[in-house]
Amino acid sequence: MPTPIIVQRGLEAYRTTFDAMRAFTDARTADTPDELWIVEHPPVFTLGLGADPSHVLDAHGIPVVQTDRGGEVTYHGPGQAVIYLLMDLRRARPGARLFAREFVYKIEQSVVDTLAAYNLAGERKPGAPGIYIAGEGPWQGAKIAALGLKVKSNGCTYHGVSLNVAMDLAPFSWINPCGYEGLATVDMRTLGSQASLNEMQSVLAGALMRQLGEPVPV
3-state secondary structure (DSSP) of residue 195: coil
Which is catalytic among the residues 44, 178, 191, 204? 178
> What order do you get walking across the sheet with 44-47 strand by strand?
64-66, 44-47, 73-76
Report the distance separating Cα 59 and Cα 171, nearest Å.
Answer: 8
Task: List, in sequence order, every beta strand (DSSP E) within 21-91.
Answer: 35-40, 44-47, 64-66, 73-76, 80-86
Q: Are 120 and 191 in contact (CB under 8 A)?
A: yes
- Known catalytic residue: 156? no
CA 60 to the chain's CA centroid: 23
- Active-site positions read 178
